[in-house]
Each structure stands twice: as structure tokens, then as C-alpha cells.
Amino acid sequence: MTTGVTINLRADGGLERREHPLLPPRPGGALLAVERANVCGSDVHLWRGGHPTLHDCVLGHEFVGRVVDTGGGPLYDARGERLAEGDRLVCSYFRVCGNCAMCRIGRMNLCEVAYASWGRSSLEQPYFRGAFASHYHLHPEQFTVKVPEELPSSLAALANCALAQGLAVVDRIRADVLPGPCLVIGAGALGLSVVAGAPKETSWDVYDRVAGRRANAGLFPNARALDALPPAGGALDGNYDVVVVAAGTPEAFGTALEQVRPGGQIVMMGIINTRDTDVVSI
Ligand SMILES: [Zn+2]
Ligand SMILES: [Zn+2]
């Protein structure tokens, strides 16, 4: 039987290479060969033991995989396009059952089984459920999208995490506070994905303590990098209608409170949280 390899995070923080048999995919799923896997900031947090429950698992969730086995059945992406062996895919890392209470009100990221396949030990079948591996078992309940041929895997790999979160934040920015001045705190992939996905008529200031990171704001015509934040507003004023916190630190939330105008909006993103709130808007 053909085998593949996973890089498993052990409970003691070590990484262990394990070899497993490649099982056939379940109906409606697929076996993918991992073509590219990014190291997300969440992977680093988890590697450092920053998650309360995930301590023995295969990390990696920003990736592009190539279909090597469809199990013989028809396979379609989220747009309804029929997929074939050799196609490159990006996949949501969480599952969506479509039937639970949250799925029925459209909050699919909070599906009851969202994380039933993610962060599992590679000792459990079907073994390949993280992207730091040679292969990945796509579950039938995961959304997937075929990557166009002209798009390199290096760009497509962040679509299912950083870019998806950035677009979700843009969706949650209230229409009544746009298009005032907006601020992003944190110029990593998350923060810059918000700028990339925001309406072009909005203007964004981008702040990051690391000069090299905030300089990347210059890549976007509707953004400018700030070397320092403007003086904090008083109790009844502020500088920004929208403040997006993408820095992953508690201190950044305090900064957001100082910078937001009355009636404005703060959006937190990229917070590891085991409760039901993935993004908090106020
Ligand atoms: Zn990620
Ligand atoms: Zn569900």
C-alpha cells in the first residue's frame, strides 16, 4: 500500500515525522497531495502550546492541494465545477454540515462539527488532516474551490485563512460608518487582507510596530503606513470610524478604544478562542 508522511506536533512540543497508509477518500471527499502549505501565525501559536486543547495534531491549514484520488465518484467545488484528478484546490479548514442551528442561520463558521476533522492526531484515521504533510484528506463537508491555472500556489495558499478572514471582516464593517478614515493595527497577512478586500473608496492607515511589516501598506493604493499612531482622542472624539485589530495582542484592543470615534466600530480578528465568538464587533 502506498504511504505518505505527516509532521505531527506532539504534546511535549516536539515535532515527529510519521508514515501512514494512504486510505481511499470517503464518498464526496478526495485525497489531495499537498503542493504548498504556509506557516500561519496560528500555527506558531499552537506550536508554542498556545491552544487549550490542541496539543497532539498535524498543523497547517493554509495550503493548496492537488487531487490525486476522487474515490471514483463525482467531485464538485463550491461553485459547482466538476473536479478531476490533477486539479489544484484550496479548502476551508473547517467543516460545514449545513444542518445544525448555526448553519441554518448562515453562520457556517460556527457549525457544530466545524472542527471535528481539524487538529486531530495523525494516529487517528484517515491520518492526513493537516497540511504539514505529504497528503490531505478532504472531507465532503469542507468547502473547496478550484485554483485557476494562471494563479500560482504561492498566492492561492492563503485564500482559505488570511484572505477569507479579511473578507469576512470587510463584510462585517457596518455600512453606516464607511467611508470614513479606517485604521488597521497589525500589518501581517490578516491586516493587509482587510485592506486588499475593502472597497476602493475607503482609505486605510496601517500601523505595525515592525517597520518592515507596516511598509507593505504601500503596496495598496488606498492605504498608507503610519510610523506612529496619532495622539489618542479624548472621551468624546477619536481618529477613526473603523479600527481593525489584527495584531493578536490584548494591548492592541486598548489602542483601538483610544483611536475609534464615538459611534465607530472596532473589529477584532485572528483571535484564538475556544468559545463561540470568532470575531467580536462593537
Ligand atoms: Zn491561518
Ligand atoms: Zn452545521
> Where do the domains of the chain lie?
3-159, 164-268
C-alpha 112 – ligand 2 centre gap (Å): 5
C-alpha 271 – ligand 2 centre gap (Å): 21
C-alpha 236 – ligand 2 centre gap (Å): 42
pLDDT by residue (tens digit) across 70-129?
Answer: 988 889 999 999 999 999 999 998 999 999 999 999 998 889 999 888 888 888 999 999
Task: Give the closest ligand to the alpha carbon of residue 46.
Answer: 1
Task: Give the closest ligand to the alpha carbon of residue 115.
Answer: 2
Residue 48 C-alpha cell reads as 508554542
Lowest-confidence range among 136-140, 239-243, 271-275?
271-275
Whether the predicted pLDDT of 280 surpasses 70: no
Bin 134: left if φ > 0, else alpha if -120 < ψ < 50, else beta.
alpha
Percent of the chain with pLDDT over 70: 92
Alpha-carbon distance of 98 to 140, in angstroms, equals: 11
C-alpha 40 – ligand 1 centre gap (Å): 5
Output the pLDDT for position 42. 83
Does the domain at residues 164-268 carry the CATH identifier 3.30.450.20? no
C-alpha 76 – ligand 2 centre gap (Å): 19
pLDDT by residue (tens digit) across 177-191?
Answer: 666 789 999 999 999
Output the pLDDT for position 263. 85
> What are the DSSP calls for 3-56, one per residue?
EEEEEEEPTTS-EEEEEEE-PPPPTT-EEEEEEEEE--HHHHHHHTT-SSS--S
Does the domain at residues 3-159 carry the CATH identifier 3.90.180.10? yes
Lowest-confidence range among 11-20, 91-100, 234-243, 256-265?
234-243
CA angle in degrees (0–180, nearest 5) for 98-276-110? 15
C-alpha 221 – ligand 2 centre gap (Å): 39
